[in-house]
Amino acid sequence: MPLSLADFDYDLPPGLIAQFPLPERTASRLLVMDGSHLEDRRFDDLPDLLRAGDLLVFNDTRVLHARLHGVKDSGGRIEVLIERPVGRHEALAQIRASHAPWPGSRLVLEGGLKVSVVAREEAFFLLRFPGTEDLVDLLERHGKLPLPPYIQRQPEDADEARYQTVYARHHGSVAAPTAGLHFDTSLMDTLRARGIDFAWLTLHVGAGTFQPVRVEDLAHHRMHRERYVIPADTVNALAAARVRGGRIVAVGTTSLRALEAAAQEGDILAGPGETELFILPGFRFRTADALITNFHLPKSTLLMLVSAFGGLKNLRRAYAHALAERYRFFSYGDAMFIKKHDAS
């Protein structure tokens, strides 16, 4: 049966969108979904949901200070959101302005950065940054943390830590892999002590993750492209987990998407890659047995992915329950533990 955008819509009261993190990372609620069965837990109950030999796969990307303000040559004010670096001195970016800048023009951004507009590539602009300093270092000094658009406040000092996972290592994202925000070092130590293994990959989350799907016929939607790297050690850890009968649990939709992208030809391949993989109900998952994830925006590709993983009817029931029980939604909100739905 063909799916439309309306199949992934729901009404969300604005008061359920979390504007601040809880005082403790692990204090969030956790809705456990196994087919049609739902159970209300806390995130610090996670060790009781796993067993020795299971493997958690984390995305260790780190959020860039990707938002900058400035002016065009003409004096018009602009806001720049880096989509992704494409070299030591260049980046693709979204630019908010009353009139889009022309290729060949110049922007003056915070810190006096004189940035050249090299080209326009559909919704993005290719920007060249001045000097010899690495782009990431420039952004860390002059940019601001890019909180999501549904968090309707300016970043505070506390966000510098709380909008990063405790294991973030590789700069490159413009949004946090939010399922990982619920883990602290104490919980990770407890999981290790119980014989649960960890593996790591890197997928740099692009600004496109917040872009709504704008076509009713989902066959016409084009996904944003994201870069990922899967280390050889992770491929080996995945194979070892399968051999010992452990379950593979993807921490976040970004981890799951990277794993599935790397497995499109069969076995999961180590190394770098880029993916435009668009996952809808009916997709055959090859890699993970369970998924830890936050609650996602209506009509979003991430909601479509989790609907595919857990079953569309099951996800609708789970979201209705979460709304009725006043779970907290989106980046600083509560989480789900979803067991893969067997569609056969």
Tens digit of pLDDT for each residue in 92-110? 999 999 999 999 999 999 8
Whether residue 322 is found in the same domain as residue 195? yes
Please check whether residues 119 and 165 belong to one and the same domain: no
Q: Which amino acid is at 24?
A: E
Q: Please indicate, yes or no, whether residues 28 and 110 belong to a single structural domain of this protein.
A: no
Domain contains 207: yes
Specify the pLDDT at position 343: 64
Tell me which residue has tokens 């995305």.
59
pLDDT at residue 344 tops 90: no
- Confidence band (pLDDT; 50, 70, 90) for 111? confident
pLDDT digits (tens, 9 = 90+) for 282-311: 999 999 999 999 999 999 999 999 999 999
76 alpha-carbon distance from chain centroid = 32
Polymer length of the chain: 344
d(CA 172, CA 120): 21
The amino acid sitting at 228 is: Y
Q: Do residues 50 and 249 touch, judged by C-beta distance below 8 A?
A: yes
**Same domain as 81, residue 30:** no
Please state the pTM of the whole predicted model: 0.94
Both 128 and 181 in one domain: the answer is no
Q: What is the mean pLDDT of the chain?
A: 94
Beta bridge partners of 167: none
Return the pLDDT at 122.
Answer: 83
Structural domains counted in the chain: 2
- How large is the average pLDDT for residues 208-233? 84
Which residues, at least 6 apart from 259, have a Cβ–Cβ distance to it below 8 Å?
57, 201, 230, 238, 250, 268, 287, 288
Q: Which of 331, 327, 332, 255 is nearest to 292 (CA)?
A: 255
Residues 57, 160: Cα–Cα separation, whole Å: 24
For residue 156, what are the contacts with CB-CB under 8 A and spacing of at least 6?
Answer: none
Establish if 150 belongs to a structural domain: no
Same domain, 103 and 198: no
Q: What is the mean pLDDT of residues 233-251?
A: 98
Collect all residues with Cβ–Cβ distance below 8 Å to 305 and sequence separation of at least 6. 253, 256, 257, 279
**In sequence order, what are the residues at sequence separation of 6 or more whose Cβ sits closer than 8 angstroms to the Cβ of residue 90?**
118, 126, 127, 128, 129, 135
Region 209-225 average pLDDT? 80
Structure confidence at residue 337 (pLDDT): 98
Question: Tens digits of per-residue pLDDT, 140-194?
Answer: 999 999 999 999 999 999 999 999 999 999 999 999 999 999 999 999 999 999 9
Q: What is the pLDDT of residue 210?
A: 67
Give the whole-number percent of the chain exceeding pLDDT 90. Answer: 85
Report the distance separating Cα 218 and Cα 53, nearest Å: 38
**Pair 281, 220 in one domain:** yes
For residues 117 and 131, membership in a common domain is answered with: yes
- Three-state SS for 221? coil
Residues 192 and 278 in one domain: yes
CA-wise closest residue to 279 among 317, 250, 251, 309? 309
**CA-to-CA distance for 14 and 19, rounded, in angstroms?**
10
CATH number for the domain that contains residue 328? 3.40.1780.10
Domain that holds residue 222: 5-63+158-339
Residue at which a domain ends, from 142, 168, 187: 142
Q: What is the DSSP letter of 94?
A: E
Does residue 114 lie within any of the structural domains? Answer: yes
Please check whether residues 250 and 286 belong to one and the same domain.
Answer: yes
- For residue 215, what pLDDT is reported? 86
Q: What pLDDT score was predicted for residue 299?
A: 93
User: Rounded to an integer, what distance in angstroms lies between the CA atom of residue 218 and that of residue 203?
Assistant: 24
Question: For residue 224, is pLDDT > 90?
Answer: no
Which residues in 259-285 are b (16+ Cβ under 10 Å) and which e?
A: bbbbbeeeebebeebebebbbbbebeb
Average pLDDT over residues 229-240: 98
> Do 237 and 105 reside in the same domain of the chain?
no
171-208: b (≥16 Cβ within 10 Å) or e: bbbbbbbbbbbbbbeebbeebeeeebbebbbbbbbbbb
- Residues 309, 162 within the same domain: yes
Where is pLDDT greater, at 183 or 73? 183
